[in-house]
Amino acid sequence: MTMILESSETFLSIKKWKEQIPGLAAIFSTRNGGSSREGFSSLNTGLHVQDEPFNVITNRNIVGANAKAPLEEWVCAEQIHGSYIKEVDRTYKGRGSTNYQDSIKGSDGLWTCESNVYLSLCFADCVPLYFVEPNSRFIGLAHAGWKGTVQNIAGKMIQKASESGVDASRIQVYIGPSIGKCCYEVDETVADQVKHCLNREDHSSLTKKTNGKYNLDLKMLNKQLLEDSGLKKEQITLASNCTSCEEDLFFSHRRDFGKTGRMSAVIGWRE
C-alpha cells in the first residue's frame, strides 16, 4: 500500500511525498475520528450531503488541525462531474470551506503555485488526482468520476501546468483511493465512452462480464490518460485502496446506496 495512516486516525498521507518533498501537505481523510452520526459517521467532510453543517465544519477543522492545513486556508470546488480546472491564489482562501454555496462554481479541478493555499475536494468513490512539481511549486487537485475521467480532467491538468511554464517531465501525480475495479460495474454506454477517450487500443481498464456489463478500473484509466498526455510511468503512483471494500476506512457512495459521507483530499504548501 502506497499510503500510510498518520499518527492521527483522521487521514492518510502520501508516504513518498512526505519523505521527499519538504513543506508539502498532501492528505486524504478517512471516515474516522469525527462528530457526525448515523450514515455520516463519523468524519464526514461533505457540506452537500444533508449532514448537519455544524458537524461537517467541526470535522473539517479536525482534519485541518491534524494535517496542519488550517480550514480557513482551504479552497473548495462545487464539483459537478465535469473537467473545468480553476487557477486559485491567496485571494480565494476560505472559499467553500464552511459554506458550500461559496465554493468555486462549475469546477472539478484546482491548481496554484502559492503557499498557504490548501486545495480541497470531496470524494466517496471517485478518483482523487494529486499533482506536484516542486521546483515551480505547482500543485493541483482533481475530482475524476467516470464523467470527468472520460473528459480527460487528468490530461487537462497537465496542459494547465505546461501552459503556465511548468516542466511536465518533472510533475509527479498520485492517484488516490477510489472505488476499485472489483466493485465498480458500468454499462455499455459508459464503456463506449471509456474506449473513445484513449489515444490507444488498450482497453485493459475494462473487463466485460457475463451480464453484458463491465467492471471499470478508474484508477488505471486515469493513469493511461496521464501517459497519453506525455507523462512517464515513473511519474505516476497509484493507491491500492478500494473505497467500497474498505468500509472501516472510507465512505462509499455505491456501497452505501448514496446516503453516506465524504472524504476530503487536501494538498498545499506550508510556508
**50's torsion region: left (phi>0), alpha (psi -120 to 50) or beta?**
left
Instruction: For 202, list phi and psi in degrees, rounded to 5.
Output: -80, 105
Q: Quick check: helix, strand or coil at residue 122? A: strand
Of 66, 115, 69, 70, nearest in space to 88 by CA: 115
What mean pLDDT comes out for the span 178-199?
A: 97
Residue 1 has pLDDT above 50, yes or no: no
Residue 14 has which C-alpha cell?
A: 502520501
Tell me which residue of 96, 106, 168 sits closest to 131, measured CA to CA: 168
Cell of 77: 470546488
Please report the sign of the dihedral spanned by the C-alpha atoms of residue 167, residue 128, residue 63, residue 55.
positive
Each residue's pLDDT tens digit, 19-59: 999 999 999 999 999 999 999 999 999 999 999 999 999 99
Domains and CATH numbers, the chain: 3-180+231-269 (3.60.140.10)
The band of 8, judged by pLDDT with boundaries at 50, 70 and 90, is: low
pLDDT at residue 2 is higher than 70: no
Exposure of 9 in the CB half-sphere (CA atoms within 13 A): 10
> 155 phi and psi, to 5 degrees?
-65, -35
Q: Is the pLDDT of residue 6 over 80?
A: no
Q: What percentage of the chain has pLDDT greater than the value 90?
A: 93
Instruction: Look at the pTM and tell me if it is higher than 0.95.
Output: yes
What average pLDDT does range 218-226 have in this prediction? 98
pLDDT tens for 125-153 read 999 999 999 999 999 999 999 999 999 99
